[in-house]
Amino acid sequence: MAQPLSALPLLILLISGAGAAAPPPEVPSRGSDLDPRQLTALQSMGFPTSRDPCSVPSARDNATACDNSAPFRHLVSLRLANCSPDLDLPTTALRALSTLRSLSFLRCPVSAPKHLPVSLASSLRSFSCDTSLRRLTGVWLSRLQNLTDLSVVGVPISTSGPAVVLSQMRRLRSVTIARTNLSGGVPRHWHALDLVYLNFSSNRLKGRIPSSISALGSLQNLDLSSNALSGTLPDSIGDLADLKNATFAHNSLSGPIPDSISQLSSLTHLDLSSNQFNGSIPKFVAEMKQLKFLNLEKNNFQGVFPFNATFLRKLDVFKVGGNANLCYNRTQLPSKLKLKLGIAPCDKYGQPVSPPPDRSTRADSDYADDGSDEGSGDNGGGGGGNHHGPSKLVLGVAIALSCLVFLVIFLICLSKICR
Ligand SMILES: *[C@@H]1O[C@H](CO)[C@@H](O)[C@H](O)[C@H]1NC(C)=O
Ligand SMILES: *[C@@H]1O[C@H](CO)[C@@H](O)[C@H](O)[C@H]1NC(C)=O
Ligand SMILES: *[C@@H]1O[C@H](CO)[C@@H](O)[C@H](O)[C@H]1NC(C)=O
Ligand SMILES: *[C@@H]1O[C@H](CO)[C@@H](O)[C@H](O)[C@H]1NC(C)=O
Ligand SMILES: *[C@@H]1O[C@H](CO)[C@@H](O)[C@H](O)[C@H]1NC(C)=O
Ligand SMILES: *[C@@H]1O[C@H](CO)[C@@H](O)[C@H](O)[C@H]1NC(C)=O
Ligand SMILES: *[C@@H]1O[C@H](CO)[C@@H](O)[C@H](O)[C@H]1NC(C)=O
Ligand SMILES: *[C@@H]1O[C@H](CO)[C@@H](O)[C@H](O)[C@H]1NC(C)=O
């Protein structure tokens, strides 16, 4: 999201795998464009600067970007990738880099500097730390007050909750704090009201999703998956009018799908899997025009499955297995789709007639499975009125197939005899 930077020349900075392998500081042959204080700072961090960081052709990793100021250019973006663990990040060097607007660490297992100099902390707009800096605190991160983009992935953060990290950041547009062992709850008070992307996946967040989440009126992506959240989805979720991608998978959320979801006309991706949602699956979901991905599996949904084949074929991904009290109306879906659903057919009272088909064995014998559904339906005494159509169809197809096989064998034999 570092759009202001994209126009600037991106240049590589080749970081040596071992800080020790840095060549002796040398005066670059063509005379450096880079501010000498910043050049020294980079050198003190063990980076080879034999080629001017402001004039090396761009590459994807280990990148730097410089502004065009005179007489010296300044670093505006620095990305440190795959550093050696004994790389040093001296405070004086970091202070000299206070022109940086973007700083990112990728697989740099060095210790986090105790105090990021205030001048650097407040100049940063984008900070990213992926499997780097060993361990961070909420307070350390909270000093990065002017960030628009924050991403911390795979680094433990000790704090009482994400509110500590975010409380001072009013300009945030994108936040990822994922796989950080983050504890506490989803914040109740939001300061960054322009947030477009919020990702707290794979942490230890617990408690309810506060209804005040609706304050994030520009939110497009919400990923709260793989936490320990409980309670219901707040009705106010329907106020997030721009929401496109919502993932609540792998929590302990319960209750019904709120009706207000029907207002989310941009929603393309909804994942409620592996929770304890219950109640019936609302029919209005089929009216959600943009929906392409819908995962409802492993919940406690009940009643008759409301979707028809037209809707299901429109989706790229649909999952609903692992809902023991949910069933489908035999007369309303083609056999092929029924088998894919992983739920049982309904009896005439709208109750499942048998345990849902085991998805792992189904691939072996599609037809046999359909047959056994019918059988258990009869045993249960419920499916009486419904079971003729599908079973006849299956039998018909089976007979037709065997006839075809016989015919082919017969023709082969015949051709051999005739020769
Ligand atoms: C970045 O630096 C690491 C360590 O020196 C190196 O292995 C890697 O190839 C570099 N990446 C690029 C794109 O130069
Ligand atoms: C960064 O944030 C601080 C404190 O919120 C503010 O005083 C300062 O003006 C901001 N700096 C820039 C360069 O925007
Ligand atoms: C994760 O947090 C818990 C307490 O909240 C702590 O006991 C545990 O050591 C932490 N794990 C890591 C890897 O930091
Ligand atoms: C959230 O972050 C995790 C970890 O980086 C990533 O795997 C996941 O795709 C992200 N979610 C969204 C919605 O982008
Ligand atoms: C939606 O979120 C999932 C992860 O939760 C991610 O894999 C997917 O790429 C996201 N889609 C979009 C369009 O952002
Ligand atoms: C759903 O579960 C909640 C408890 O988690 C319960 O109070 C409620 O009655 C259930 N609703 C239905 C329709 O089963
Ligand atoms: C399928 O369901 C959708 C939404 O409920 C409805 O608009 C459509 O007419 C149905 N199609 C058929 C063939 O029943
Ligand atoms: C299944 O669909 C048929 C025809 O659409 C309807 O008459 C019947 O009541 C439905 N059964 C259940 C259990 O909803």
> What are the extents of the domains in the chain?
32-104, 332-384
Which residue, chain included where needed, has tokens 């809707």? 311
Q: Which atom of ligand 7 is nearest to the CA of 307?
A: 2
CB 382 within 8 A of CB 354: no
* Rounded mean pLDDT, 11-23: 33
Give, using CA atoms, the residue closest to atom 9 of ligand 8: 348
Distance CA 391, CA 404 (A): 20
Which residue, chain included where needed, has tokens 């319960």? 254
Distance CA 57, CA 136 (A): 33
Using a 6 Å cutoff on CB, does residue 198 contact ligand 4? no
Distance 128 CA to ligand 4 centre (A): 14
Nearest to 14 by CA among 80, 101, 111: 80
pLDDT tens-place string over residues 32-76: 588 999 999 988 887 777 777 877 655 445 578 888 888 899 999
Strands 10-12 and 63-66: antiparallel
Give, using CA atoms, the residue closest to atom 12 of ligand 6: 279
Q: Does 363 score more than 60 pLDDT?
A: no
pLDDT in the model for residue 54: 79
Please give the DSSP secondary-structure letter assigned to residue 346. B
At residue 249, what are phi and psi to the nearest 5 degrees? Answer: -55, 155
Q: Which atom of ligand 3 is nearest to the CA of 135?
A: 14
pLDDT tens-place string over residues 163-221: 999 999 999 999 999 999 999 999 999 999 999 999 999 999 999 999 999 999 999 99
pTM reported for the whole predicted model: 0.79
CB 309 within 8 A of CB 337: yes
Nearest to 66 by CA among 58, 79, 77: 77
Please give the DSSP secondary-structure letter assigned to residue 55. T
Choose one of 122, 167, 172 to mutate for the ligand 2 pocket test, by most ligand atoms within 8 angstroms of C-beta.
122
CB 45 within 8 A of CB 93: yes
Q: Which atom of ligand 8 is nearest to the CA of 349?
A: 13
Using a 6 Å cutoff on CB, does residue 269 contact ligand 5? yes
Distance CA 288, CA 267 (A): 8
Nearest to 79 by CA among 99, 61, 53: 61
Q: SS3 sequence, 131-199?
A: CCCCCEEHHHHHCCCCCCEEEEECCCEECCCHHHHHCCCCCCCEEEEECCCCCCCCCCCCCCCCCCEEE
Nearest to 339 by CA among 301, 312, 379: 312
* Rounded mean pLDDT, 83-90: 86
Q: Which residue has the higher pLDDT, 287 or 356?
A: 287
Q: What's the pLDDT band for 120 if we cut at 50, 70, 90?
A: very high
pLDDT in the model for residue 355: 60
